[in-house]
A and B are shown apart, each in its own frame.
Chain A
Amino acid sequence: MEKTILIIDDEEDFCYFVKKNLEAISNYEVITATKGKKGIQIARKKKPDLILLDIMMPGIDGLEVLKRLKKNENTQNIPVIMLTAKDEDESKIKALGSFCDDYIVKPVENVVLKGKIHKVLSITK
Chain B
Amino acid sequence: MPLKKKQILIVEDERIVAEDIKMSLQRLGYSVRGAATSGEEAVKKTEEIRPDLVLMDIVLEGKMDGIEAASAISSRFDIPVVYLTAYADKKMLERAKVTEPFGYILKPFEDKELRSIMEIALYKHRMERKLKESEEWFFTTLKSIGDGVIATDTKGTVTFMNPVAQALTGWKQKEAVGRPLKEVFKIINEETGKPVKNPAARVLEKGSVIGLANNTVLIAKDGKKVPIDDSGAPIKHEKGKITGVVLVFQDITDRKKKSDELQKAYADLKKTQQELIQSEKLAALGRFSSGIAHEIKNPLGIILGGSEFLEIKLSNVDSDVKTAIDKIKESTFRANTIVQDLLRFSRPSALKTERINPNDLIKETLSLFKYRTPLIEIKIKTHFAKEKMYLEVDKNQMQQVFFNLLLNAIEAMPKGGAIMIKTYKMAPSESSLANKLCVIQVADTGEGISKKNLQRIFEPFFTTKRERKGTGLGLSMTKMIVNNHKGDLVIESKPGKGTTAKIVLPFH
A contact residues around B343 at 8 Å (CB) = 86-88
B188 CB–A CB distance under 8 Å: no
Given contacts A21-B309, A24-B312, A107-B332, A85 and B301 within 8 Å (CB-CB): yes
Q: How far, in angstroms, from A86 to B340 measured CA to CA in the complex?
A: 9
**CB atoms of B312 and A108 under 8 A apart:** no
Interface of chain B: mostly helix, strand, loop or mixed: helix
Closest to A12 in B: B302
Shortest CB distance B222–A (Å): 68
**CB atoms of B290 and A107 under 8 A apart:** no
Q: What 1/0 mask marks residues of chain A from 1 to 12 whose CB sits below 8 Å from any chain B CB?
A: 000000000010
Residues of A44-78 contacting chain B, CB below 8 A: 56
**CB atoms of B305 and A85 under 8 A apart:** no
Closest to B332 in A: A107
Closest to B315 in A: A24
Residues of A96-116 contacting chain B, CB below 8 A: 105-110
Interface contact tally, CB-CB below 8 A = 63
**CB atoms of A14 and B305 under 8 A apart:** yes
B contact residues around A17 at 8 Å (CB) = 302, 305-306, 308-309
Q: How far, in angstroms, from A16 to B302 measured CA to CA in the complex?
A: 9
Shortest CB distance A34–B (Å): 13
**CB atoms of B301 and A108 under 8 A apart:** yes
Shortest CB distance A7–B (Å): 11
Given contacts A13-B302, A107-B303, A85 and B308 within 8 Å (CB-CB): no
A contact residues around B305 at 8 Å (CB) = 13-14, 16-18, 21, 107
B347 CB–A CB distance under 8 Å: yes
Closest to B333 in A: A107
Closest to A89 in B: B294
Shortest CB distance A60–B (Å): 17
**CB atoms of B312 and A11 under 8 A apart:** no
Per the CB 8 Å criterion, the residue count for chain B at the interface is 21
**CB atoms of A106 and B309 under 8 A apart:** no
Residues of B292-307 contacting chain A, CB below 8 A: 293-294, 297-298, 300-306
Q: How far, in angstroms, from A25 to B312 measured CA to CA in the complex?
A: 8
Shortest CB distance B307–A (Å): 9
Q: How far, in angstroms, from A21 to B115 measured CA to CA in the complex?
A: 137
**CB atoms of A56 and B294 under 8 A apart:** yes
Closest to A85 in B: B297
Shortest CB distance B282–A (Å): 16
Closest to A18 in B: B305
Shortest CB distance A12–B (Å): 9
**CB atoms of B340 and A87 under 8 A apart:** yes
A contact residues around B294 at 8 Å (CB) = 56, 85-86
B contact residues around A108 at 8 Å (CB) = 301, 304
Closest to A87 in B: B343
A94 CB–B CB distance under 8 Å: no
Q: How far, in angstroms, from A1 to B38 measured CA to CA in the complex?
A: 155
A92 CB–B CB distance under 8 Å: no
Closest to A105 in B: B297
**CB atoms of B308 and A106 under 8 A apart:** no
B336 CB–A CB distance under 8 Å: yes
Q: How far, in angstroms, from A14 to B344 measured CA to CA in the complex?
A: 25
A contact residues around B308 at 8 Å (CB) = 17, 21, 109-110
Partner of B301, one of A11, A25, A87: A11
Q: Can you name 10 A-B residue pairings with CB atoms under 8 Å?
A: A13-B302, A17-B306, A20-B309, A20-B312, A85-B298, A86-B297, A87-B340, A106-B297, A107-B297, A107-B300
| 6 closest residue pairs by CB, A with B | A17-B305, A85-B297, A106-B301, A107-B301, A107-B304, A107-B300
Q: Name B's A-contacting residues (CB within 8 A).
A: 290, 293-294, 297-298, 300-306, 308-309, 312, 332, 336, 340, 343-344, 347
Q: Name A's B-contacting residues (CB within 8 A).
A: 11, 13-14, 16-18, 20-21, 24-25, 56, 85-88, 105-110
